[in-house]
Amino acid sequence: MKRKTIAIDFDDTICDTNRAFLFFNKVKHNNSVPYSKIKEKDCLYKILKLSSKKEDIIWDEFFTEPNFCFPQPKKEILGVLKYLKEDHKLVIFSAREKRWQTQINKWVNLYAPNIFDEIIFLKNLKNACSTKGPICKKRDFDLLIDDCPEEIASCLKSNVKVIVFDQPWNKKISKKVPRIKSFKQLKNLVNKRENPAIF
């Protein structure tokens, strides 16, 4: 039997990137903002009261600081990923900008070697759509786990199964879409009995 493929977003799903960035900004720039205040994806500059250009500069600084840009994952995440790998193909599917992609490969080699079958960057795909849904459909991915409202909507439109990874900026997504707050909950949804509500 063909193993089902689970695609998982990286930033703010597997890796607490925004939380790490806010900590970096607090330590390095004395600019403190609670994580719960992030109500829109990719709009940190508004909350931090920065220009988008200045926020971009700080992200560049962040990604050159290994003590900050490689936040250690929770132990439960790695345990669940190893469990899922027993019966599924696992793929990281990221929409991260090209200039900051090498950190994902380094993070995976550091914390999660031999877990993922592939790392896909949306922005590197030739003739690709701007969202993940059509790509998941084309590649026959069975499920996507993501935090971004735009990507979740794209999957629903493309008839691709999706699980919402709970974040402050995705509270408005329909309650009909399965939602998890931890990878422990993911294990309960996606298990060896193949929960019919997911697959």
Q: Where residue 173 sits, what CATH number does that domain have?
A: 3.40.50.1000
Does one domain contain both 61 and 137? no
Domain count, the chain: 2
Q: Looking at residues 32-46, what average pLDDT do you find? A: 85
Question: Which residues constitute the domain of residue 58?
Answer: 17-69
Which tokens go with 198? 């997911």
Is the per-residue pLDDT at 199 higher than 80? no
pLDDT value, residue 192: 47
Is the per-residue pLDDT at 42 higher than 80? no
Whether residue 198 is contained in a domain is answered as no
Whether residue 152 is contained in a domain is answered as yes
What does pTM read for this prediction?
0.93
Which tokens go with 41? 């994806």
Query: What is the tens place of the pLDDT at every residue in 77-95?
Result: 999 999 999 999 999 999 9
Whether residue 196 is contained in a domain is answered as no
pLDDT value, residue 190: 79
- The number of C-alpha atoms within 13 Å of 192 and in the hemisphere containing its C-beta is 5
CB atoms within 10 A of CB 89: 17
Q: Which residue has tokens 């999957």?
A: 155
